[in-house]
Amino acid sequence: MNEPLSFLQRLSENVQYNYLLEKAAKCEDEMERMEYVAAFALATVSANHKRMSKPFNPLLLETFELERNGVRFLAEQVSHHPPISAVYAESDEFTVEGTVEPTLSFWMTKLIANPHAHLKLTFKKTGETFTWSAPKCAIYNVIMGKMYMNFTSHMKIESSGTYDAVFSFDNKGYYNHKGGDVHVEGHIFEGKNKIKALYGNWTLFLASCDQDDFKHHRKEYVQLFNESIHEKDKGPVIPGSKILWVSNQIPKLFEDQFHFTNFTLSLNEMYAGMSEKVAPTDSRRRKDMKALEDGKNDEAEEFKHKYEEEQRERRANKTGNVPMWFAKDEDGHWSYNGDYWAREFSNCLDLFESNDNNNSTRSNSSLSSSSSSAD
């Protein structure tokens, strides 16, 4: 089952908690900076909670932009086979860039998703960098029964400074695992030495405390955490802990609206004046998603088929295949070229509008012009 979002829009959920990076940028203490960066990295996966529906596959050259809370975000589908999405986000304090190349595989009744998402954060004032990859996840009971998901790999945040951090997700039943394991545990390291403990519920909160305090209270904490899951509580906090992140309140109709957060529910909105502002390749213009959102499933399927057929035709004609906003270097790394926010969209394809020539651009100029512009 699809959800009425493009995969590019789903990637924009990563900046939902950008205030954590703003906090980190202002921290004088390097350890505290790592705490908030780790909290941000964990918060990026929180939007996956109960999200079993599949987003729409982006068309080649499809884009999604977002300007919110002092951050600009841009994603572009830079490759179709294999599917690769390039992302870039920027504020006065930081930049985040990366690529996502998702793969899916089946094992018995389990679906394994590896996002191959590699992200790099840079603080502008110091030049300090942090890199991490999103964890793998498994969705169980995809054939019959109630589906649930677990993260199945570690998540390591490496910095150019003194400290690194590693998160482990419980998927072996040590914590309550009915309906999925939501507990997360981690540490901040200096070399191989554990300096600080990180713990919480990846759907709700993250806290930090001294390593010795965590070891002392861990057995009691496990019992209290499992009780908190049963009572649908946020979870216990070890004495002396600092709360780093708390998730935003979910909408009242969370269960009936594809398990979208309030942030996610707004991603398809075309506010006044936006239609003239965003690129013709923007995901908000997809008529198949709009039809699905309105409950018109047959119409959604018709538009989806139409877009895919037009994409196959462009590929056969070898037209409209050069990304506009990201460039690939000799090492295969995709970098933002800095041009998008000038909003010169005359050479962009009208991906989602019906016309006699589906390879046409807004200015009807040749695609060779588009290619040179992308370079």
Report d(CA 21, CA 35) in Å as an integer.
10
> 64 and 83 in contact (C-beta within 8 Å)?
no
Instruction: Say whether pLDDT at 252 is over 70.
Output: yes
Greater confidence (230 vs 189) lies with 189
**Radius of gyration of the chain measured on its C-alpha atoms:** 22
pLDDT band, residue 180 (cuts 50/70/90): low
What pLDDT was estimated at residue 253?
86
Domains and CATH numbers, the chain: 2-265 (2.40.160.120), 283-362 (no CATH)
Whose tokens are 């926010």? That residue is 341
Q: What type of residue is 11? A: L
Report d(CA 219, CA 202) in Å as an integer.
19
pLDDT band, residue 107 (cuts 50/70/90): confident
> 300 and 368 in contact (C-beta within 8 Å)?
no
Greater confidence (233 vs 22) lies with 22
pLDDT one-digit tens code per residue, 55-65: 999 999 999 99
Report d(CA 320, CA 162) in Å as an integer.
45
What pLDDT was estimated at residue 233?
57
pLDDT one-digit tens code per residue, 139-171: 988 888 888 888 999 999 999 999 999 999 865
Please confirm whether the linkage preceding 102 is cis (ω < 30° from 0). Answer: no
Mean per-residue pLDDT of the chain: 89
Greater confidence (98 vs 110) lies with 98
> 204 and 246 in contact (C-beta within 8 Å)?
yes
